Structure 1
């Protein structure tokens, strides 16, 4: 699949950002140079601002956004409403890398903190991302019987995994978001450890999976 000109959504976590000798920022530069259009979703507002500063120091043209900017991510009864993509598309078309704070626009006057995994899923579905990646320090889904990493799941299988309360809530959230993203039209979604060298490049550009990929039947809706 030719990914030139296609949008990639990357949900980065604190472990990846804090990794000594990590390649996350250089990987973003590399993907951008190949003509891909990365969108970064940060775990917190402070992390988003730190990512923007780091990227701009390295020569990337990053722009920090809150989900409340231009009403891009509206809050809706404890969840996320229909994402407004105009601002995001404008920045991507101009060559910027949007870095998103996990905050939704509250119509009652108070903006609402929302889970970064949910933001990444909603954005990826709304822009028709070719790929989404959810960095998680657990590295993916481990098969309970074999204790081996699960290479691939269908969205239905991933949703079943996300209901397994023996797993950590952070991993369950990432798996659920990956499954819903694929059902919403994302080409494929990966859950992997972003501290691994060049994780984004390996997941996006090779057939190898460092973690667990969710792909399969797509239900648009």
Structure 2
């Protein structure tokens, strides 16, 4: 595990609840002390919605993605790159972790094109240049990445955080890609946890509607990371105490492991 590169998508209740965010930061501090090279990609949907509401701007969604016009994109970038990113960095710093907050627009890290005209400034990643996070990792920092990308005309594009994290895990050839979620993992039609999934099973479960909504980008991110060279991918229940540490250090069977 020493010197393993681990890309972690951080969101859901693990970010929203102070006791869970403190526990997450404590886990990262312990893992960093073990010599792991950690990269955190965070979400921020609830925080974006809260500020839009305060500004009397309606939140609209299609296929689980936020419809993002120019006014909404200003808020998205402000919240993700400012408020949320710096809050995560500060939480890690309080545990003695040297963290550096960046966005996907820094150093050409994430480049994207518009996903669907009906969604506005929502992007899909077309290329990843991991040079900047590699520099930070080599210098002993934990990169904390806000999922905003640059478009063809250098405009800011809103990227699903699961998708951004999976793309980065693949580009870094990370040993582990961990999606910290607020669900136990992927559930079957009876609501039971599925401990392991491969690409064929994912396709069948999507076709039957068992995998739907917000779980679709999660399994797609895992599959994409694995196809690009990531070693292992996991959708982890972030509500379980020290779930990240227990999985990485003890190989505890928590969540759903996605295999090629």
TM-score normalised to structure 2 length:
0.77
Distance 1:14 1:47, change over 3 A: farther
Cα distance in 1, alignment partners of residues 207 and 33 from structure 2: 39
- Partner of 1:4 in structure 2? 2
Distance 1:163 1:31, change over 3 A: farther
Q: Hey, which of these two has a bigger chunk of helix by percent?
A: 2
* Larger displacement relative to structure 2 (193-202 or 96-105): 193-202
Q: CA RMSD in A?
A: 1.7
**Do the aligned partners of 2:222 and 2:233 also contact (CA within 8 Å) in 1?**
yes
Residue ranges of structure 2 left out of the alignment (5+ in a row) = 45-79, 116-123
Cα distance in 2, alignment partners of residues 160 and 182 from structure 1: 19
- Partner of 1:62 in structure 2? 99
CA drift of 1:19 comes to: 2.8
CA drift of 1:20 comes to: 4.5
Distance 1:130 1:108, change over 3 A: same
**Do the aligned partners of 1:132 and 1:190 also contact (CA within 8 Å) in 2?**
yes
**Do the aligned partners of 2:114 and 2:151 also contact (CA within 8 Å) in 1?**
no
TM-score normalised to structure 1 length:
0.89
CA offsets, 1:65-103, max 9 Å, x none?
Answer: 110001110113432122111111000000100011010
- Partner of 2:146 in structure 1? 101
Structure 1 or 2, whichever has the larger Rg, is 2
Cα distance in 2, alignment partners of residues 42 and 123 from structure 1: 12
> How many pairs does the alignment contain?
213
Stretches (4+) displaced over 3 A? 159-168
Cα distance in 2, alignment partners of residues 58 and 159 from structure 1: 41
Distance 1:7 1:159, change over 3 A: farther
CA drift of 1:116 comes to: 0.3
**Do the aligned partners of 1:135 and 1:191 also contact (CA within 8 Å) in 2?**
yes
